Amino acid sequence: MKYARVYAGDVKVGDELPPLVKGPIQQIQLTRYAGASGDFNPIHQDDEFAKAAGMGGVFAHGMLSMGFVAQALTDWAGAGRVRKIGVRFAALVRLKDTVTCRGRVLATSSKDDLHLVELEIWAENGKGEKVVSGKATVALPSRE
Amino acid sequence: MPIQINKSVVGKEMPPFVVTVERGKIKEFARAIGDLNPLYLDDRVGQASEFGDIIAPPTFLTTFRDESADTSALLRELGTDISRVLHGEQEFEIHRPLRPGETFLCRSRVLDVYEKTGKSGPMAFVVREMVVTDKTDEIVATARHITVVRL
């Protein structure tokens, strides 16, 4: 089941998120993301502009890749469970690239009713290069 | 000849602005990412959930912007323009999920500006923070954003 519920007691350090493969990236998705996010930087829409800016052509919004990584987290932990997510945009995502989102549990902690899981998270393009890397914290329910 | 970045913007506070979360905007945003989680898209699933309504995805905070502000004004003040900037880093601390119809106050400021030389030459890093509070003055989220300027 895609949105299976994960409980705090089931999670161990070293556990990996099920990989989430997004893309291939198409221009229409970047246009749609511009409208939805309000980021109309022409560098994501207009190839001539992106080339003139020295970027070699259009590339995806970093925030779109961060949205993909957040989806990998919430597909696993559940929507509304992410308490912190921080990433560095390490490389550009180009048109036709696939983006594979991954994560691994770094630490778990429990205090009273609050069960936190810290993860490293990242996304790779089709060549296996990291395009996004960072950390996240999710709060999970306990079984009781 | 590399451009000069105006570091005097450090500490600058932008005028506070108000954002009301719109139901349709949450759904449009989730669909643009291709994240079809029913807690973002299906009102009935939202109502039956512990949240009482649909909620916004974690990165939805990126849509919180001051519609009345001139977005290129800060770039001009820094001494650059949009063709030179890249998104370097982004972090969200989210204390609770955001729901449609809620109104929030957003306060942004420039925390730091520093320069570094990387593989692709000299760059400036502009660190901004936005604190989002609800009607009870409770902080619901904090966003930290690093813009990279190619010098």
Chain A CB within 8 Å of residue B58 CB: yes
Chain A CB within 8 Å of residue B37 CB: yes
Q: Which two tokens mark B136?
A: 């009870």
Using CB atoms within 10 Å of the CB of residue B22, give its burial: 0 to 12 exposed, 13 to 18 middle, 19+ buried.
middle
Please give the Cα distance from A98 to A65 (Å, whole number).
10
Q: Please report which confidence band the pLDDT of residue A143 belongs to, taking 50, 70 and 90 as the band edges.
A: confident
Q: Which residues in chain B are closer than 8 Å to A49, comparing Cβ atoms? A: 83
Q: Which residues in chain B are closer than 8 Å to A53, comparing Cβ atoms? A: 83-84
Q: Which two tokens mark B25?
A: 């905007």
- Please determine, for residue A2, whether its predicted confidence score (pLDDT) is greater than 80: no
Residues 6+ apart with CB under 8 A from B19: B64, B103, B104, B106, B132
Q: Please report which confidence band the pLDDT of residue A121 belongs to, taking 50, 70 and 90 as the band edges.
A: very high
Residue ranges of domains in chain B, CATH in brackets: 7-22+64-150 (3.10.129.10)
| Position with higher pLDDT, B72 vs A83 | A83
- Please determine, for residue B41, whether its predicted confidence score (pLDDT) is greater than 60: yes
Query: Mutate which of B28, B62, B93 to disrupt the A interface (most A C-beta within 10 Å)?
Result: B62
Best CATH choice for the domain A9-25+61-140 from the list 3.10.105.10, 3.40.190.10, 3.10.129.10, 3.10.20.520: 3.10.129.10
- Please, where are the H alpha helices in B51-128? 72-78
**Is residue A84 within 8 Å of A107, Cβ to Cβ?**
no
- Please, where are the H alpha helices in B5-70? 23-33, 38-41, 43-48
Chain A CB within 8 Å of residue B57 CB: yes
Instruction: Give me the pLDDT at residue B120, please.
Output: 80
Please give the Cα distance from B41 to B29 (Å, whole number).
10
Please give the Cα distance from A41 to A88 (Å, whole number).
19
Q: How far from the centroid of its chain's Cα atoms is residue A46's Cα?
A: 24
Query: Mutate which of A89, A131, A140 to disrupt the B interface (most B C-beta within 10 Å)?
Result: A89
Q: Within 13 Å and on the Cβ side, how many CA atoms surround A56?
A: 6
Q: Please report which confidence band the pLDDT of residue B72 belongs to, taking 50, 70 and 90 as the band edges.
A: confident
Instruction: Give me the pLDDT at residue B88, please.
Output: 96
Residues 6+ apart with CB under 8 A from B131: B106, B107, B108, B139, B141, B142
**Is residue B29 classed as helix, strand or coil in its secondary structure?**
helix
Q: How many CB pairs under 8 A join A and B?
A: 111
Please give the Cα distance from B128 to A143 (Å, whole number).
39
Q: What is the CB neighbour count within 10 angstroms for residue A73?
A: 24
Q: Which two tokens mark A48?
A: 């001539």
Which is nearest to A73 in space by CA: B108, B92, B111? B92
Lowest mean pLDDT among A3-7, A101-105, B31-35, B58-62: A3-7
Provide the whole-model pTM: 0.96
Instruction: Give me the pLDDT at residue B1, please.
Output: 61
Q: Which two tokens mark B117?
A: 């030389």
Phi, psi of A49 (to 5 degrees): -60, -45
Average pLDDT value for chain A: 95
- Please determine, for residue B9, whether its predicted confidence score (pLDDT) is greater than 80: yes
Q: Please report which confidence band the pLDDT of residue B63 belongs to, taking 50, 70 and 90 as the band edges.
A: very high
Lowest mean pLDDT among A55-69, A84-98, B110-124: B110-124
Please give the Cα distance from A14 to A104 (Å, whole number).
6
Q: What percent of chain A stands above pLDDT 90? A: 93
- Please determine, for residue A144, whether its predicted confidence score (pLDDT) is greater than 80: no
**Is residue A122 within 8 Å of A136, Cβ to Cβ?**
no
Please give the Cα distance from B127 to B115 (Å, whole number).
11
Would you tell me which residues 97-126 of chain A have a C-beta closer than 8 angstroms to some C-beta of chain B?
A: none
- Please determine, for residue A31, whether its predicted confidence score (pLDDT) is greater than 80: yes
Lowest mean pLDDT among A123-132, B83-92, B101-110, B114-123: B114-123
Instruction: Give me the pLDDT at residue B69, please.
Output: 87
Would you tell me which residues 50-69 of chain A have a C-beta closer than 8 angstroms to some C-beta of chain B?
A: 52-54, 61-64, 66-68
Q: Please report which confidence band the pLDDT of residue B13 belongs to, taking 50, 70 and 90 as the band edges.
A: very high
Instruction: Give me the pLDDT at residue B67, please.
Output: 87
Q: What number is the average pLDDT over the span A85-102?
A: 97
